[in-house]
Chains A and B, each alone.
Chain A
Amino acid sequence: MKDKNTDQIEKFDEFHLENSLYYTRIPDSYKKRQAYKPLDEKVLKAFIPGTIRAMKVKVGDIVEVGDKLMVLDAMKMDNDVKVLYGGIIKSVNVKEGEMVKKNQIIVEFE
């Protein structure tokens, strides 16, 4: 297609769909979409930013689903965070009183 301003032929992106090829513009939002990653059960990340009020586990602990992990002060509440998947604690990456960001790794499992 001709661009009316520059009179140059636009080079379109190649877009494959169900074995068919289409020439079109692919928006940045589509190019930058995140590939699906399955849940990594070896790490536990902060689901919301906040401050660690208390850590209830230490390295080497064997924990089960539902065990108390920590108290996270977030959204003006003290949230009792429980263990989502069991295992042996390999490392605790945060200290009590520390501010954590969203998706920051709190605990790693063996």
Chain B
Amino acid sequence: MSLKQKSLDLKKRMREALSGGGSKAIEKQKAGGKLTARERILAILDAKSFHEYDLFVEHAAKDFDMDKKYLAGDGVITGTGSVFGHPVCIYAQDFTVAGGSLGYAHAKKITKIMDQAMKMKVPLIGINDSGGARIQEGVNSLAGYGEIFYRNTQASGVIPQISVILGPCAGGAVYSPALTDFVFVVDKISKMFITGPEVIKTVLGEDISMEALGGARVHAEKTGNAHFYAGSEQECFDQIKQLCTYIPWNNTKKADRFPKKPPRTRQYKIDDIMPSDQRQPYDVRDIIKSLADDSDFFEIQALWATNIVIGFARLDGQTVGIVGNQPIVLAGVLDVDSSDKAARFIRYCDAFNIPLLTLVDLPGYLPGVDQEHAGVIRHGAKILYAYSEATVPKLTVIMRKAYGGGYIAMCSHHLHADFVFAWPMAEIAVMGPEGAANIIFRSEIKNAEDPDKVRKEKIEEYKQKFANPYVAAAYGYVDAVIEPTETRKMLIHALTISASKSVDVVIKKHGVPPF
């Protein structure tokens, strides 16, 4: 063969491998409102940055006539590229090739690119669109999943891992995304479940559609499995790219610093946002926007456990991870789900050198048999663990109520916050004035001629004495009581002071958090 012929041969081989599952399968994929695997990669990465590897990998399965089947790229595309100029490793399952089913070679391609990501310390983006295990390959498919899970776990806290669910992701396959940092879902396209509607129907006799069982909305709102929800694939890709601007490329680096921008205080003014009546709620996201550069807040898990708000913003160009109680939903109480949501985010920020800002306004933990029986002790403990464990700069602003266990949990000085600021309307106390007065002055109220009158007086007395930030400030539990309008300035200064923060970490293999 001449050189030219060899070159033509390569081109022919590439054409064949790049054709995926063929025009019919691609047409079907498009009819479902879905892009092809390669189009998805190109849409996420910087233009012309994608370089593909292992295009010629083939499976070696023999059983069930598999030896007669050619599967282009074995149903997955892997490679490297960049997002906003930063290198990333990426893979995308190709549903047009044998339903994106995972066989041994398919899994090998994925684990190879994962190993590469770990070696080069760059983020890994995985696009899931697969019918599940390739049944013909039997236990080798299971081996493939297991090897992926192992690597997901090893990479956790070292490189950012992003999972994008753009099709079915069922059975064991769901556990790879579950082990990664961020899961993106798209309305009507993403479907995740351990056992599908058919199995549920046969075993349990319960009828449910795929969408109702494990659609995007379900995971964004109900289960908390998804972190970002989008209406279309394009919107999803934009979210991924936006996320990439806030996070560092690996755990030895800090997030990129951006040019600083003032908040849009005409639109978001703390004095206008905070209601004068202490019992009335406000949207804590407006407070965040009043503090953040350009009033830009990138919310995570915006639809699940909405009584707590988490996400990224920038202060003076620097990324901070924000955790805020949300008074507009359930008065901002902590419960099973909101504790889970906050705790995992805190651990993410800590692993990736992102300073934490905690905005406090909560009446405490949510009472109720359902909460107790759902394990609020175990789940609530996660938030204590996560804050105590975190060694990144920890800044806390107590805006209004900080009662009881909720006060301790929300990054108090006692969990070794670095700076705790309180606004003048803050109430830091063991419980709300009404509850406290009823207990402390029980007999006085009971024995009074007019118990209601005495109760009111005692509540007022308690409020005067204790419903303020000054008792805590007198003990040094609050570093400074500040005007709300000073907050941004104080936070930026605190970040500057904390820039070289170092804490001696107790040497251990790892802790045993209340998972």
Chain A residues close to B by CB (< 8 Å) = 1, 12, 15, 17-27, 30, 33-36, 48-49, 74-75, 99, 101-102
A20 touches B432 (CB 8 A): yes
| CB closest chain-A residue, reference B273 | A1
Closest 6 CB pairs of A and B: A18-B435, A19-B434, A36-B369, A22-B331, A20-B432, A24-B331
Can you show 23 pairs from A to B with CB atoms below 8 A apart? Answer: A1-B280, A1-B283, A1-B328, A17-B331, A17-B364, A17-B367, A17-B432, A18-B363, A18-B367, A18-B431, A19-B434, A20-B363, A20-B435, A21-B279, A22-B281, A22-B327, A23-B281, A24-B327, A25-B281, A34-B370, A36-B369, A49-B203, A74-B203
Given contacts A18-B432, A25-B329, A25-B330, 15 further A-B contacts (CB under 8 A): A15-B331, A18-B367, A20-B433, A20-B434, A22-B279, A22-B331, A23-B280, A24-B329, A25-B281, A27-B306, A27-B329, A35-B369, A36-B373, A74-B203, A102-B204
Q: Which A residues touch B373, using CB under 8 A?
A: 36
Chain B residues close to A by CB (< 8 Å) = 203-206, 275, 279-283, 306, 327-333, 363-364, 367-370, 373, 431-435, 438
Q: Which B residues touch A20, using CB under 8 A?
A: 279, 363, 432-435
Q: Please report whether the interface of chain B is mostly helix, strand, loop or mixed according to DSSP.
A: loop
Q: Which B residues touch A24, using CB under 8 A?
A: 281, 327-332
B281 touches A30 (CB 8 A): no
The answer to whether A17 and B275 touch (CB under 8 A), given A49-B203, A102-B204, is no
Contact of A12 among B206, B280, B433 (CB under 8 A): B280
Q: How many A-B residue pairs have CB under 8 A?
A: 76
Q: Which B residues touch A49, using CB under 8 A?
A: 203-206
Q: Which A residues touch B203, using CB under 8 A?
A: 49, 74-75
Query: Shortest CB–CB separation between residue A22 and chain B, in angstroms?
Result: 4
Q: Please report whether the interface of chain A is mostly helix, strand, loop or mixed according to DSSP.
A: loop
The answer to whether A25 and B328 touch (CB under 8 A), given A36-B369, A36-B370, is yes
Complex Cα spacing A99 to B280, Å: 52
Complex Cα spacing A109 to B431, Å: 46
A17 touches B280 (CB 8 A): no
| CB closest chain-B residue, reference A36 | B369
A15 touches B431 (CB 8 A): no
Contact of B281 among A1, A74, A101 (CB under 8 A): A1
B306 touches A12 (CB 8 A): no
